[in-house]
Amino acid sequence: MRVDDRVYSAQSRAHATTILGVKRGDTVAIAGDGQVTLGDFVLKHGANKIRLMHDGQVVAGFAGAVADALTLFGKFESQLKAWDGNLKRASVELAKEWRTDRYLRRLEAQLIVADSESILVLTGEGDVIEPDDGIVAIGTGAPFATAAAKALRFHTDLDARAIVEAAMHIAADICIFTNDRITIETVHLSRGSDQDPDGGDPLQDTDIMSIEPSQSGKAEPTRSSSRSKRKKPER
């Protein structure tokens, strides 16, 4: 393969997107746009980059190569089953495998995963990151979506779903690699679920890289999928 072919191949890989996750109160919402870009043109407008897992108790979104992301989704689902839905433990184990496996570490994707209590970013560098304010984004439009979501969270009373929808529309108006055909999935904490005896998260103050398996309350899934389309203003 010539140098020019390698450069073209790297630039032509479908990669551009925006995935945004917001946790507010007892609700977590993750939104993704539908645009898939190949080189200098748009290949697809309505791709679905969000998925519910573990009987709807976990929601995940991806940015990066589609085949790579689907492989990681399969690995993550297996870890969820192995650890009985423990999101943090499953995330740490996936990050370990992703970082050390010679095949998996070549995969080019990032994941946002969340249940009703936590939201995490997973990368091939072995990172498992939980944002301090419950707002995180990946993909080309991540800075725009993050800034919009932070402003909406701190200065409005909007719920998590409304925040991600509004912030994604703002990102779509700014980022040329993000469109306004948005898919949103939400997960709510069940009021009747078992809670920690002390009333807090037993893993809240634990180093995420040294988590031991634990049993946590089950989340009652509430699927709320929508595709929102808004015409962009003429430029």
Helices 142-155 and 160-174, interaxial angle, to 10°? 140
Nearest to 138 by CA among 32, 58, 57, 43: 32
Rg of the Cα atoms in the chain: 18
Spatial distance between the Cα atoms of 151 and 10, rounded to a whole number of angstroms: 35
- Ramachandran class of 155: left when φ > 0, alpha when ψ lies in -120 to 50, beta otherwise: alpha
Pick the catalytic residue from 17, 140, 183, 186: 17
Spatial distance between the Cα atoms of 107 and 105, rounded to a whole number of angstroms: 5
Active site residue 17: yes
What is 183-194 written as a DSSP string?
A: EEEEEE--TTS-
Helix (H, G, I), strand (E, B) or coil at 140: coil
Segment holding 198, helix H or strand E: none
- DSSP secondary structure code for residue 128 in this structure: E
Q: Which residues are catalytic?
A: 17
